[in-house]
Chains A and B, each alone.
Chain A
């Protein structure tokens, strides 16, 4: 059990982890609870007065009596706001840390629930201390600061292919489903409010329009909540993209309905004309948002074309352009979420072709970091706002709302699926429908929208807020906690953790062409036909504008292949690969001159490299590649038991693949052939440049050069590693007669030990040093490996 808490905790900690974790949590919560009121306590007046006092004292000090110089002074108000913000962020992050230290908890209860509870605790503490709870879920803060990172993260890494394939279904759910929900809930609530004419209650004040407004607020599925919960249950891609896509696209509907009803709630009536205008408005909002996003996306892609000399600020462009897209859309009351999604999705393929590998990593990590913090903060704030928020509890209203939300959702999903299945090739089963209905979680967006309501126009605002919070709590707690066991119970298909292989890529492209051809023969302008046309357009015009240099002509397959190889190569080098270079290589080459922890030589390498003659370059690359393969072997043996799984790890079969390659390479070099298994790209190909520049200079250590001509040495792992023996055994076993069962031994290898025998087990000391480096490097699993990155845009 303790070992699951990850590589962070050394062995001894694990035993008392649960107790310590709980203790840590309590301490933190108490800390936060006590500091925040302190902050709130320093009212502006006093501080101002204190300030002026100090000034006077300072002035007076010059002229009149000399007071002792204040060695230590307290001036909190100057830093109050940033300090409090940082404190909140710190709280959020520490909470996240804490939860993962308590292993059992995080597997039963989804994180979002725990965070809300923490928020409740903090809010309660603040209230207990007698201070006013800061209005944390202020709508401006929420919509302008907390929501965009999450949406951008979702949009940038949106798997385009499944999204586009299911776009019709998603739109149906998002638009028609949300409309149905809103009107059904609003209408029935109004009806319920009107009954019981005998006992007049508060509810009678409720008009139809406010009810409809409430319905439209509460009916929208929330992307933040969906992301938070669905991420932990790992369901299959189709369901994930359906629910998630719906939560993103229903923003347009929500925006229009909200503004429509808010506008006219004061007036009291909505005419048919208004309805019609509403429909037009919806189209404008949705398409306008997408357009704005696409424009900014293209701008970002275009800008990234010229960033080859200023690699450091590349990620900044991605973030700023996206944020601008969001804000611009918000100016015109267009759908900011759709703008953000469109921006991210449009710019991604072109930006990724242009930027360096490190920038790509930066973008990925920053987005994940921000969205993670944002999400945590949102849930905590929900808890705090619950404690604070003005409440007006009305049993009828609240219970009816909760029930209606469920009922409306179920009816909506079932009804829509019936219609949708007529048009789908892969039909949605009952299980799928259940998950879609059950996954309709509400979240903070609903709350913020409710918060935005004007108290004067909507006297029932408090009641609305209470009901909204109850629904949110219900969906997040009840549905969030039970969805995982239900998924297991219903045996819903899970996500396939698979990397795309080159075979799949080739065959998928082949099938695309095939289907396009068949469609043409049938005279049918279908899905594939238009996709093909779009691809051609993209290749012919768009790529030329937006992608720098030669990459614009690179076919999809080649780009994919390069990416795969590059990933492996970089990962090998960065994890402390022992690059052995013979003395035949001239000293101008970067590798030898790069000392650990010295950035400047990298620059020299940059400039030195283009001067090398082409033949030399090929040689170097050949050596590099072969040595990387050797290191790969060593890596293998460390990985399996001692380290956390490397996200780039391929199957065991890949190791044998490399082994095979190496053997062939040996043969080839022995024959003095000049072919590489991966051919040398032209020297200034951006692909190779990126590999060179991106490789961490610290990974290279100065090695004593051997005095021989470049040869490949099969270097098996040091005997210390427990798995090195396995490796040897496996190679030996491979020589045995074929026909052995077992998936691992499917790949039989040509007997190689004859050559490798005498060269075995050198560099024992080296490998020990390497081991530490490897452990440090590989202990960071990073954000969950995004297989979607491998998927080409518009394949």
Chain B
């Protein structure tokens, strides 16, 4: 842990990153280590193949979605700042951070509830039309249930889910409806990885 501070020089724009994402120097260094570990051919960028080397991701039903979330649409490589920005969504919320702390562009931090939910929403909404349509939901269900159920059952579950959440009757779940259906779930707690504290 002590030597990690010396690695800050390797990380471009370390200070801005720390400011933007709220990670401490130690965490940033750790993430950089991990980044370099994944970056097998040392290009300074990660490609989808690099992610696939993580074996457990292959077993994860939504592994491919998670990997895809790191890449902006159209791009095939993700650099360190983008990597960190995505992971910032999973940083535990600081209870003590004062709201009025910083002046200037008071952007909502990446690990606010809304931003976390937006991230998850994008994982559902693969066609990026701003809504979770029935097809999107069915895709997710198929992935999670791993072909163990009949198509009919999936249809009915998706049907019921949409009916429950869909308030404006457009047969799809918008971001607001998504957020409402999760109001009882403690997202800050669920989507926090202690490692990233």
Chain A residues close to B by CB (< 8 Å):
423, 425-427, 496, 498, 501-504, 506-511, 513-524, 526-527, 529, 536, 553, 555, 557-558, 561, 653, 657, 660-661, 675-679, 746-748
Contact = CB atoms under 8 A, between A and B. Distances in A.
A511 B149 contact: no
12 contacts: A498-B184, A507-B181, A511-B185, A516-B56, A517-B60, A518-B193, A520-B56, A521-B54, A521-B87, A522-B31, A526-B193, A557-B144
B182 A679 contact: no
B163 A517 contact: no
B62 A517 contact: yes
B11 interface: no
Interface in B120-166: 120, 123-124, 137, 140-141, 144-146, 148-150, 152-153, 155-157, 159-161, 163-165
Interface residues of B, number: 58
B54 A677 contact: no
A140 to B, nearest CB: 44
A746 B157 CA distance: 21
Interface in B68-111: 87, 90, 92, 95
A758 to B, nearest CB: 26
Contacts of B161: 502-503, 506
Contacts of B197: 425
A501 B37 CA distance: 41
* Interface SS majority for chain A: helix
Interface of B: 31, 34, 37-38, 51, 54, 56-57, 59-63, 66, 87, 90, 92, 95, 120, 123-124, 137, 140-141, 144-146, 148-150, 152-153, 155-157, 159-161, 163-165, 167, 169, 181-182, 184-186, 188-197
Contact of B120 (A498, A510, A519, A553): A510
Contacts of A504: 181-182, 184-185
A424 to B, nearest CB: 9
Given A519-B193, A679-B150, A513 B145 contact: no
A679 B156 contact: yes
A588 B186 CA distance: 52
B81 to A, nearest CB: 16
Contacts of A519: 193, 195
B65 to A, nearest CB: 8
Best-surrounded residue of B120, B141, B156, B167 (most CB of chain A within 10 A): B156
A518 B184 CA distance: 23
B140 A506 contact: yes
Best-surrounded residue of A509, A513, A521, A522 (most CB of chain B within 10 A): A521
A503 B148 CA distance: 20
B192 A425 contact: yes
A792 to B, nearest CB: 13
Nearest to B51: A521
Contacts of A425: 92, 188-189, 192, 194, 197
B149 A555 contact: yes
A558 B149 contact: yes
In the A-B complex, list the 8 residue pairs whose CB atoms are closest, starting with the nearest: A679-B152, A517-B66, A524-B195, A503-B181, A520-B56, A517-B60, A425-B192, A426-B189
Best-surrounded residue of B124, B163, B191 (most CB of chain A within 10 A): B163
